[in-house]
Structure 1
Amino acid sequence: MSSLMTAALRALAVTLALLGAGSALAHEGHDHGAAPPPVTKSIAPRGEAASAAFELVAVPREGTLTLYLDRFQTGAPIANATLTVETPTGPVTAQAAEPGIYRLPAPWLSKPGHHDLLVTVTAGSDLDVLPVALDLSDPAAAAPASVPATQAISATVTQALPALTHDLKTRVSQADPVLLTVAGGSFLLGLLVMLALRGGRRVPVVAALAITATLLLSATAFAHGGEDHGADEKPVQGAALVQPAPGAAPTDLAQRLPDGSVFVPKPTQHLLGLRTVMTEVGTFHRTIGLPGRIIPNPNASGVVQSSVGGRLSPPPSGQFPRLGTPVTKGDVLAYVTPPVARVDISDMRQTQGQLDQQIATVQRRVERYAKLATTGAVAQVQLDEAQDELKGLKDRRAALDKIRMEPEALVAPVSGVIAEASAIAGQMAAAGQMVFQIVDPKTLWVEALSFDALGGAENATARLADGRTLALTYRGSGLADRNQAIPVQFAISGDTNGLRVGQFVTVQAATNTELQGLALPRAAVVRTGNGQDVVYEHTSAERYAARQVRVTPLDGNRVLVAVGIGAGKRVVTQGAELLDQVR
């Protein structure tokens, strides 16, 4: 009977203890407690090492050690390197699997604990020895050997029995009547079950606990009044990374950690093409942004105009040159036939008649003088004069016909490409009207408008709408204002493929004012949702931290970081936009 009473007392003590905890959770106005920290995406155990030239990450998995080797300053994967690892079984050379990825079999990694490795890296002329430490947890320690549930519960109850018995009176005095009723009923029910089975096999204490726990959970559910505190609870920010649950395979996924940094495993870094640069403080000239547009080079372009008004007709090829057609200096592009008025036609016919009469008269005189000159009756001088007069009259007659019938040829003044054409067969072109514009696409200029005088502006770049940048060479600025601004002209240096005359650009021109700071590519700066500019610092092999910065334009490709990050830091210059999307 003493053993029976002891078991009953244990059941009652545990019941009251659970009731006390349940009442604290069930009543309105009481603290329901903070939600447990969330379990983030699991990551596999890993070790890392770095030197001035290399950055190495070692990841053991399924009996294989995978080594990721990158350049320390740029983050670029290193291919064709030699990695020799000092293992417990001796030195082993890792085999290259992909650029920057090397693998070697490591059955000794199945033993949990601390492993110190020495990796000798040879890449070209660079040689370094990197120590790597691996800490492998014991799955058996994380998941202890299972014991029967009855023994575990009995041991727990036995250990907690003295404290629960001492607190029994206090719990009873403070408990609500309804809860006391539930507890008493649970106790009696468990006691009756034990008495009924007294004659047979002894019932363990877990049977009474199971019954009382069922009633307790029912009472607690009713006490909440229909509230649901499970599905709507949000995870608490600031939870640390935890090891994967026993038996669950770790998955290396890019994730944003509770402290705001971003964990990106090496395979993902290679996939996103992340690259970094080491920051350095320098002195740069202050730049200003100017609106500008592309114009043709005045020395390598020209226009084709008609000197007289007339009707356009095609060149000898039969077709007008269209846009984009290359032409050479001296090519005939079109003809202009001037119109002749009726009055002019009448005058021309009258003049032609007079010339014809004079030609006929002089022709007869020349013939007569030629006959007389043989007898000496007419001097040879008179014959020569008559012949000269006849020739002049014929030339005047031919020129009059030519002026009436021959059109004006429009000739290309320079070699280049037809940039603008307005010629149509039969079109009447006015005197001075531009029919064609010829541009050399290999030599283009940029004209910008500046509100400040530029002192030389040797360092200038132009930025297109698509992000492309052009190097510019200063050519000069005007002395006369244009719309309260000074026109400044630059020559485009380098490739001009794809550029069009009249295309708008933004010119970044340097001034004489000097500034100090860090020069970074524009792609390194990311604009966050709140409008703040940030850059991502590569703090360790697989972690990146966002740094808020204040930047000013430096040129078409770079910005100047004044505040937010110092020198000697690795900043992401390629893939920063993708890195900012990791959640």
Structure 2
Amino acid sequence: MKSRKYLKFGMLAIILIFVVSYILYEKGVFGPQKVVGAQVAVGTLKPTVFGIGTVNAKMNFNVGPTQSGKILKLYVDQGDYVKAGQIIGEMDPGDLEQNIASAHAALVNSQYSAETAKAQIQAAESVNELAQVTAARHAKLFESGAISRESLESKEKDAQVAQASLDSAISTYQAAQSRVVQAVADHQKMIEQKKDLLLISPVDGVVVSRQTEKGSTVIAGQTVFNIIDPKTLWVQTRIDQSRFSGIEIGQTAEIRLRSHKEALQGEVARLQVQGDTVTEERFVDVKLNSASAKILLGDSADVTIQLPVAENALYVPAAAVKTIDGADCVWVVKNEKVYSRKVKTGVQTVEGEVQILEGLAQEETVITYSKAQLVEGTKVRLVPAL
């Protein structure tokens, strides 16, 4: 009986030792380090770049007066649609109307003076013509001895006076014409100044803001209305500098506004030269393919830019790529041990696949997750998940 009892306890002890040993090997410190891995695969990658941006407009116009003054009338408000050339406000003309009337009177007076001078030319021409004919006739009479020299000299002097009068009349007319030209210019200048008092929309667009009100005094160049062209709406998108490579003008993009449920289509319209040195981001302007009255300036948007498709590309999960000493590396499993290897990466998909350009071969195994820090040559065991 005792031998059977000892045998039973012996078997239980052996089983207990086996279970404890198994647990220590599988879960404890005595077994190989457990890691999750993945094989290097080949396939077609459809890479994308994600960024966050704000809706803005490429064509943005500030409308204001060209001279200081008081606002007389404002015809539109923010949110209103306007047409190119539409009068949207007026400035107080002050005494400009009186100045225009005075300039017009000066113009009419100068025109009358010019007409009078022109009539004087005609009269002087008639007198001069008669005097010249008379002088010529007396010259012939003097040659025939019919009149005296004194009579001839008198007629010649009359001819000289008549010519001088004609020359003076011509000069007076020319001066009068110059005054007409000056009066026309002054009057036109006043008319143009009156036109400058009108605030006119430069484009078919939407009034974004009205920054002053009727009766306010503004200076030359101060903005009264801000108008945008809704056909030029785009999203100024921030892209991490590390993901900027490969983005080009014309690439398609999907835009999801925070204030809208539906996705909108767009394309890359401009790559801004200067980035943000603090956040290490670059700016990409993504144009909306269709304008919408529901889209407002300042709306936040999630932007996904479609990069060129990579055919027959080697790739691994993004979790496998680590930065070691400033370089992209992966941990490769070989003969149940791990070794770090530098790689050159390419594009990345939104699903978390990273293209490998150099450093790995197809069907090699890389580590995607490990609870403990990996060390070169560490023995590991691949498991489905941790």
TM-score range, shorter chain: 0.3 to 0.5
Structure with a larger share of its residues in helix: 2
**TM-score, normalising length: structure 1:** 0.33
Question: Whose RCO is larger (CA < 8 A, sep 6+)?
Answer: 2
